[in-house]
């Protein structure tokens, strides 16, 4: 059964009369995604401070948004979460996931650094991955100035951002300096070949559709050599051994449900400490819809609690 509140979101978005995603241009998709956020977003949580930081990345300036929880002071090194927003590599930005980042910061007591990575089709694969990896390295290298405890760093993200978080964790697995303490993957893309059963069973009627996924993947991956590359397909990595403890959260009526579940199982099979939670009655993107869906806030509370435990000093 679909959560009645999720059904109300689907009806409200449908009433806007927007064309299907696959009939939109990237700029239209970005504009309409922002409009949907205004309709469904929760009220922002209070945090101690929010600071914008820019640095030079592999393809130009990358903007970060640094959230500090209530009661913290600038000189206090905190457990810190690098957050990579969702949006199919095409839409989304620091504003679209501001409420999510504030919630995680306020509830976990950890700092959160959101990353405004380059979007497709202007910047195709692996641009988003390169920016997210560079941002993680920047935060580590500037830990003193940012008030970051480098022994308590995590990566997190939703949807495309979940894939980017998983792939950054894979890239840093053999790093001699950066040892990630945790990964939080919210309904992540783990296999863009679209070969899992839920792509078909949940591919229409629940906002994110099979054709919508083709739109996103076409803009980011088209013309690039991405198949079998762990920067795009973490599920197909030769080995998942040695990755940090991970929480994978999925939605039961999401086309991406099965590949998220499969990734959690693959992590466990590789000996990685893994937790898996599926919100059976929810749709893709629901954690950004806390203004209309109560389980969005419950899910973020669960994620924040996992971050607090993983990044605790105790």
Catalytic residue list: 159, 254, 284
Q: Residue 174 burial by CB count (10 A; 0-12/13-18/19+): exposed, middle or buried?
A: exposed
Where do we find the tokens 């973490």? 234
Q: How many other C-beta atoms can be found within 10 angstroms of the C-beta atom of residue 291?
A: 16
Encoding tokens for residue 65? 């948004």
In degrees and rounded to multiples of 5, residue 311 shows phi and psi of -105, 15
Whether the link from the prior residue into 121 is cis, omega within 30° of 0, is yes
CA neighbor of 297 nearest in space, from 305, 309, 289:
289
As a whole number of angstroms, the distance between CA 127 and CA 133 comes to 10
As a whole number of angstroms, the distance between CA 220 and CA 218 comes to 6
């Amino acid at each position: 059964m679909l959560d009645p509140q999720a059904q109300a979101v689907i009806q409200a978005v449908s009433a806007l009369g927007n064309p299907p995603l696959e009939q939109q241009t990237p700029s239209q998709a970005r504009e309409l995604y922002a409009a949907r956020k205004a309709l469904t977003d929760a009220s922002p949580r209070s945090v101690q401070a929010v600071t914008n930081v820019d640095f030079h990345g592999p393809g130009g300036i990358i903007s970060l948004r640094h959230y500090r929880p209530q009661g913290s002071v600038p000189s206090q090194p905190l457990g810190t979460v690098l957050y990579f927003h969702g949006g199919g590599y095409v839409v989304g930005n620091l504003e679209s996931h501001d409420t999510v980042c504030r919630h995680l910061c306020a509830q976990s007591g950890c700092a959160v650094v959101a990353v405004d990575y380059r979007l497709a089709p202007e910047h195709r694969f692996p641009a988003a991955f390169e920016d997210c990896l560079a941002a993680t390295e920047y935060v580590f290298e500037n830990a003193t100035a940012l008030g970051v405890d480098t022994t308590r760093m995590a990566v997190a993200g939703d949807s495309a951002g979940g894939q980017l978080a998983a792939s950054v964790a894979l890239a840093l697995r053999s790093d001699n300096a950066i040892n990630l303490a945790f990964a939080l993957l919210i309904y992540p893309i783990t296999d863009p070949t679209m070969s899992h059963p839920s792509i078909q069973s949940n591919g229409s009627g629940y906002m994110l559709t099979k054709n919508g996924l083709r739109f996103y993947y076409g803009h980011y991956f088209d013309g690039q050599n991405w198949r079998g590359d762990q920067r795009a397909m973490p599920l197909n990595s030769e080995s998942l051994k040695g990755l940090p403890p991970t929480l994978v959260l999925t939605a039961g009526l999401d086309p991406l449900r099965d590949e998220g579940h499969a990734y959690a199982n693959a992590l466990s099979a590789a000996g990685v400490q893994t937790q898996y939670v599926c919100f059976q009655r929810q749709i893709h993107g629901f954690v950004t819809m806390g203004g209309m869906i109560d389980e969005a806030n419950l899910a973020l509370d669960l994620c924040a609690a996992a971050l607090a435990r993983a990044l605790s000093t105790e």
